[in-house]
């Protein structure tokens, strides 16, 4: 009798453990392709309700009535290096908005020395200036990813001094070594890869370095010559870890970007979002290397990561669980200073080389290659 009770308790405990990782119904499904192909998005209504409140855009400040021929901010204020071409009124409006987006509690003194706003001795002012240039670059040079919606400081900061979703290089993990070998970062149950067994650092290879993310061969079975696939399972695990990050960051399934018939295909049935994502990973890599990493020496030690590196951006930094940041709210158009042309070159025009008859990705659409 005791054995039977023990068995039932064990069975109940096992069942409880198995369903602990599941989400309770109801679950909503949205079809995005032909019936029977599995092209669909699965959503939890409760998660969507939470995300809706987190991705609500703030009110836009009232527009300034410009006075023709009025003075520019750079002629009135000292040491205005980025926004000097704005009118005095638009300059004040933009700076006020930035304060609300980034430092609503601290106010102007978060970046400025009280009584001497021209002073550059506060590190946050140096960082803010660089971030303004970065925002201008995104809005002017990466339309393949952000289109006309653009971004503002609020897209990442959401009223916080430091964006909630940033990443640092992780500390090297200790292991027993010896005959156990190197675990290659696996089985650490890190949030960065959805608590899976995949390598815990999916960001450094692709959002800082330019490691190849493709692991699929172009041909079946042959795999020789130019078609040879020398990618290993180990490389594939890093790719899958990054894909999990993408999925979690945007709150979508794999099929938001990929065709269920062939995940590697850039053909006519591939979703437009895959091309947008192709530009997105390159945009994040450029922002990290050209804007964030150069600021490493500017930040104090308490703002750096465990290995002494600066905070960096990934998909979650802007998206924060939404398929479009702030669900596509177009804030940037109300602040012309954030659309100023950047000196840096435009985003790369090159796209993945497609096989004959396959499509190559363009921003927001798919066209068939003539090759």
Structure-token pair, residue 91:
């300059």
Q: Which of 236, 345, 265 shows the shortest CA–CA distance to 39?
A: 265
pLDDT given at position 189: 77
Strands (E), the chain: 28-31, 40-43, 359-362, 365-368
DSSP assignment, residue 228? -
pLDDT(131) > 90? yes
**Higher per-residue confidence, 35 vs 179:** 35
Residue 147 covered by a domain? yes
CA–CA gap between residue 223 and residue 333 (Å, rounded): 49
Taking the CA atoms of 322, 327, 328 and 333 in sequence, report the sign of the dihedral they define: negative
Whether residue 311 contacts residue 167, with contact meaning beta carbons closer than 8 Å, is answered with: yes
Burial of 11 (0-12, 13-18, 19+ CB in 10 A): exposed
Inside any domain, residue 48: no
At 221, the pLDDT band (50, 70, 90 cuts) reads low
- Decide if pLDDT at 365 tops 50: no
For residue 204, being part of any structural domain is answered with yes
**pLDDT band, very low/low/confident/very high, at 15 (cuts 50, 70, 90):** low
Q: What is the CATH number of the domain that holds 317?
A: 1.10.468.10
Q: How confident is the model at residue 96, as a pLDDT?
A: 97
Alpha carbons 341 and 268: distance in angstroms, whole number: 33
Gap between the Cα atoms of 139 and 276, Å rounded = 14
Is 36 contained in some domain?
no
Cα 285 to Cα 341: distance, rounded to the nearest angstrom = 20
Query: Residue 235's pLDDT band (boundaries 50, 70, 90)?
Result: confident
Say if 2 falls within a structural domain: no
**Phi, then psi, of 85 in degrees rounded to 5:** -85, -5
pLDDT tens, 40-59? 898 888 888 888 888 999 99
- Span 334-342, average pLDDT: 82
- For the chain, the maximum distance between any two Cα atoms, rounded to a whole number of angstroms, is 94
In this prediction, residue 156 carries a pLDDT of 98
Q: Which of 114, 119, 111, 79 is nearest to 95 (CA)?
A: 111
pTM of the model: 0.83
3-state helix vs strand vs coil in the chain, percent to 5 = 40, 5, 50
Write out the residue range of the structural domain in which residue 208 sits: 56-169+189-347+354-368
pLDDT at 181: 66
Task: Identify the residue whose tokens are 């924060």.
Answer: 320
Strand, helix or coil at 305? coil
- Let me know if residue 33 belongs to a domain: no
- The number of angstroms, rounded, from the C-alpha of 367 to the middle of its chain's C-alpha atoms is 26
Residue with tokens 């032909």: 34
In which band, very low, low, confident or very high, does the pLDDT at 234 lie, cut at 50, 70 and 90? confident
Dihedral sign for Cα 300, 303, 304, 310, please. Answer: negative
Judged against a pLDDT cut of 50, whether residue 230 lies above it is answered with yes
Please tell me the distance from the alpha carbon of residue 264 to that of residue 262, in angstroms, as a whole number. 5
CA distance 253 to 204: 23
The span from the CA of 87 to the CA of 292, in Å, is: 29
Instruction: Please list, in sequence order, all residues whose beta carbon lies within 8 angstroms of the beta carbon of residue 279, skipping any fewer than 6 positions away.
Output: 142, 144, 145, 347, 363
The total of structural domains in the chain comes to: 1
Residue 6 placed within a domain: no
Q: What angle do helix axes 123-141 and 272-287 make, rounded to 10 degrees? A: 150
Quick one: pLDDT at residue 301? 96
3-state SS, residue 323: coil
Mean pLDDT of 169-198: 76
Tokens of 329: 């709210």
Q: Cα–Cα distance between 233 and 102 in angstroms, integer?
A: 42
Which pLDDT tens digit goes with each residue over 94-125? 999 999 999 999 999 999 999 999 999 999 99
End-to-end CA distance of the chain: 74
Asked whether residue 45 is assigned to any structural domain, the reply reads: no
pLDDT at 334: 95
Distance CA 107, CA 102 (A): 9
């Amino acid at each position: 009798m005791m054995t039977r009770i023990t068995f039932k308790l064990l069975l109940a405990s096992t069942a409880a453990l198995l369903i602990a990782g599941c989400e309770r119904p109801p679950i909503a499904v949205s079809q995005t392709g032909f019936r029977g192909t599995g092209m669909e998005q699965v959503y939890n209504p409760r998660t969507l309700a939470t995300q809706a409140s987190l991705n609500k855009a703030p009110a836009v400040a009232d527009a300034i009535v410009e006075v023709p021929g009025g003075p520019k901010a750079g002629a009135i204020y000292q040491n205005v290096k980025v926004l000097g071409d704005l009118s005095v009124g638009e300059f004040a409006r933009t700076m006020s908005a930035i304060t609300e987006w980034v430092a609503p509690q601290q106010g102007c003194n978060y970046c400025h020395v009280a009584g001497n706003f021209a002073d550059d001795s506060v590190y946050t002012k140096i960082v803010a200036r660089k971030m303004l240039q970065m925002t201008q670059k995104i809005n002017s040079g990466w339309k393949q990813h952000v289109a006309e919606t653009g971004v503002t400081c609020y897209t990442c900061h959401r009223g916080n001094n430091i964006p909630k979703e940033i990443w640092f290089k992780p500390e090297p993990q200790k292991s027993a070594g010896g005959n156990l070998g190197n675990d290659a970062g696996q089985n650490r149950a890190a949030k960065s890869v959805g608590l899976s067994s995949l390598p815990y650092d999916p960001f450094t290879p692709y959002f800082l370095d330019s490691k190849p993310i493709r692991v699929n061969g172009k041909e079946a079975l042959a795999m020789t010559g130019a078609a040879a696939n020398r990618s290993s399972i180990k490389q594939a695990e890093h790719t899958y870890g990054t894909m999990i990050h993408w999925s979690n960051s945007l709150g979508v399934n794999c099929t938001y970007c990929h065709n269920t018939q062939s995940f590697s295909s850039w053909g006519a049935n591939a979703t437009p979002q895959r091309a947008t994502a192709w530009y997105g990973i390159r945009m994040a890599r450029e922002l990290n290397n050209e804007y964030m990493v150069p600021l490493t020496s500017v930040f104090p030690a308490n703002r750096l990561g465990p290995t002494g590196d600066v905070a960096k951006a990934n998909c979650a930094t802007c998206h924060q669980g939404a398929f479009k940041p702030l669900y596509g709210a177009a804030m940037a158009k109300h602040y012309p200073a954030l659309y100023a042309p950047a000196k840096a070159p435009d985003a790369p025009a090159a796209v993945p080389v497609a096989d004959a008859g396959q499509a190559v990705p363009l921003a927001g659409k798919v066209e068939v290659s003539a090759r």
